[in-house]
Amino acid sequence: MTEHPVVLLDHVTRRFTDMPALDDITLSIAKGEIVGLIGRSGAGKSTLIRCLNGLDKPQEGRVVIDGLDITPLSEQALQPVRRRIGMIFQHFNLLSAKTVADNVALPLKIAGMGAAARRKRVMELLDLVGLADKADTWPARLSGGQKQRVGIARALASDPLLLLSDEATSALDPETTQGVLDLLARVNRDLGVTVLMITHEIEVVRQIANRVIVLDRGRIVEEGPVARVMASPQADTTKSLLRGLSPILPRDLADRVAPQGDQALIRIDVYGPDARRPLLDDIARITGRPARLVHGGLNDVQGEPYGRMFIALGTNDPDSVRRVVAALSPKTTAIEVLGHVPGDV
Amino acid sequence: MSQAMFDLLLRGLNETLIMTGVSGALSFLIGLPLALILVTTDRGGIFEAVAVNRILGGIVNALRSVPFIILLVAVIPLTRLLVGSAIGIWAAIVPLTIAAAPYFARVAEVSLREVERPLIDAARSMGATRWTILREVLIPESLPGIVSGFTVTLVTLIGASAMAGAVGAGGLGDIAIRYGYQRFQTEVMVCVVVILIVLVSGMQWIGDWLARRIDHR
């Protein structure tokens, strides 16, 4: 028997007064994955994540958690399922009337663990998130990053098989975000917890997700390994979400691109092992002229290189250009002749 | 001030404290569950039962709209049934409670509604039962507001108990009317007013202090 996915959505549709918030969503998440679910606000991300623990219910389709179809379950029957799913929130949602330790202890109390065992487990969890010294502090006295660490400790309290993150870093500054992401990655690696994080920040996905799902108006418009999607986004939504991250031609250079000119300018998108090839050298060998990188370069997604490069070919000979494109096409995810630029570029 | 006057005022104070204290305690015991029912049975609540909510809300509104002086007289048959008499401080406790419980219920309801939906969803996402949400989230999170609301209710009760004095309930209000007003003993009136000011201020101060102490927001 093959191991079943932790999460399986099977043609899920959720409408709010006829407007579909989720429109025929099918996806599956395997054990141990970190999946980033990205989309603009209003894309249906929150609705989707709320369907996973039954806080919201789809009108059509099935939501299967670890092999159990939770769609028909009543509020009471959902409770044991929810105890196996941790959730963290953009605004942390810590209880102000409970100390840090009591906040983390709540899921354990709900699960019926005794007071002594609870205290021990809470200290382990606070140790894990680096807040052991804050056990008896009130949440209001913590910084945003510390609050989210408490949120993570609380979400992990009952050894969940799945951790749902609902814009968990969106209210945090970049440095704190980094700390929280590192913690989530560590939790995934050391405890084997499957993580689904929804976000509108592509940077968050780039840093820790293995796989990305792009949602737009309730539909999945793109899905795949993060490096692949970032290197060559197919859907318009993905492209626009990536706009800030992938290099674009600087304006002064873009203004000088013309149909005719001294040399051709090409754009290359590349990822994976192909990104490690001596591309400029390859080109130079075909054209017999030195090629030059005028803009862009390589980036990396968890050790996987990807990038976009703008390369001036040093020649405007149509035949050479055609041969370059033909030779590089199999080795790149996208290649495009943008036009011609003057020789001094 | 004569010894007799002093004893009189002391007895009045004692009676006022008993009336306010007992009807306050009863109002809390009746009003808080009422508030919880009003909040949780409303649309989208954790014990959603809209019909129950509307009926209960209607009863609370009806009781709240009857002027206290009318209520005082109107519930006399019920008072006789419960206490055996319509006169005295114990008899006054019945109308006082009937007036204050719905009042406190509405005040507590406001605090309970201020507990944000995401907090309740967070508890639900942990697999909490509805009773756990009540016990661990709704009540503790709204407690500072509930304490403030209860303080306001007690202060209102002091005023109302003075009014109950007019129909023979005893207490400081009774003394103010009989001695201060009807017999023109201005110094009695002044004494009663001063005692009431001190009483109300003290209660408010304690209530504020307690609310601040338990508020960790």
Q: Which two tokens stand for residue B199?
A: 């009483």
**ipTM of the complex in this document:** 0.88
Sequence letter at residue A289: R
Task: Report how far residue B162's alpha carbon sits from residue B92's, in angstroms, rounded to the nearest whole number.
Answer: 10
Q: Is some CB atom of chain A closer than 8 A to the CB atom of B121?
A: yes
Chain B residues with CB inside 8 Å of A113's CB? none
Instruction: Find the DSSP H helices in chain B.
Output: 3-40, 50-65, 68-74, 76-83, 89-113, 117-125, 130-132, 139-165, 171-175, 186-214
pTM value is: 0.86
Higher-pLDDT residue of A233, B126: B126
Count of CB pairs separated by less than 8 Å, A with B: 65
pLDDT digits (tens, 9 = 90+) for B132-155: 999 999 999 999 999 999 999 999
> What is the average pLDDT across B152-159?
94
Write down the residue that tokens 């917890």 correspond to. A193
> What is the average pLDDT across A121-140?
96
Chain A residues with CB inside 8 Å of B124's CB? 55, 82
A55 vs B125, B130, B217: nearest CB:
B125
B142, closest residue in chain A (CA to CA): A97
CATH number, domain A7-242: 3.40.50.300
Tell me which DSSP letter residue A134 carries.
G
Exposure string for B42-80, b = 16+ CB within 10 A, e = fewer: beebbbeeeeebeebbeebeebeebebeebbeebbeebe
Q: pLDDT exceeding 90 applies to what percent of chain B?
A: 76
B186: number of Cβ within 10 Å: 11
pLDDT digits (tens, 9 = 90+) for A183-223: 999 999 999 999 999 998 888 998 899 999 999 999 999 99
Q: Is some CB atom of chain A closer than 8 A to the CB atom of B49?
A: no
pLDDT band at A246 (very low <50, low <70, confident <90, very high): confident
Residues from A in contact with B at Cβ < 8 Å: 53, 55, 75-76, 78-83, 85, 87, 89, 91, 93, 95-98, 106-107, 109-111, 138-140, 154, 158, 164
Of A28-32, A40-44, A71-75, least confident by mean pLDDT is A40-44
Reading across the β-sheet that carries A68-69, which strands appear in turn?
A19-29, A7-16, A60-65, A68-69
pLDDT at B67 over 60: yes
A83 vs B127, B136, B217: nearest CB:
B127
Give the pLDDT score at A2.
57
CA atoms lying within 13 Å on the CB side of residue A314: 14
What string of H, E and C letters represents the secondary structure of A16-42?
ECCEEEEEEEEEEECCCCEEEEECCCC
B127 vs A80, A91, A98: nearest CB:
A80
pLDDT band at B164 (very low <50, low <70, confident <90, very high): confident
pLDDT at A1 over 50: no
Nearest to A218 by CA among A53, A81, A63, A18: A18
**Which domains can be identified in chain B, with CATH numbers?**
3-214 (1.10.3720.10)
Phi, psi (5° rounding) for residue A79? -55, -50
pLDDT at A248 over 90: no
Helix (H, G, I), strand (E, B) or coil at A269: strand
Cβ of A110 within 8 Å of Cβ of B132? The answer is yes
pLDDT digits (tens, 9 = 90+) for A287-341: 999 999 999 988 887 778 888 899 999 999 999 999 999 999 998 888 999 999 9
For domain A251-341, give the fold: Alpha-Beta Plaits (3.30.70)
Task: Report how far residue A38's alpha carbon sits from residue A244's, in angstroms, rounded to the nearest whole number.
Answer: 15
pLDDT digits (tens, 9 = 90+) for B69-121: 899 889 999 999 998 888 888 999 999 999 999 999 999 999 999 999 999 99
Give the pLDDT score at B176.
87
User: Same fold for the domain at A7-242 and the one at A251-341?
Assistant: no
pLDDT at B206 over 60: yes
Higher-pLDDT residue of B167, A242: A242
pLDDT at A174 over 70: yes
> What is the average pLDDT across A180-185?
94
Cβ of A110 within 8 Å of Cβ of B122? The answer is no
> What is the average pLDDT across B21-50?
96
| Domain map (residue ranges) of chain A | 7-242, 251-341
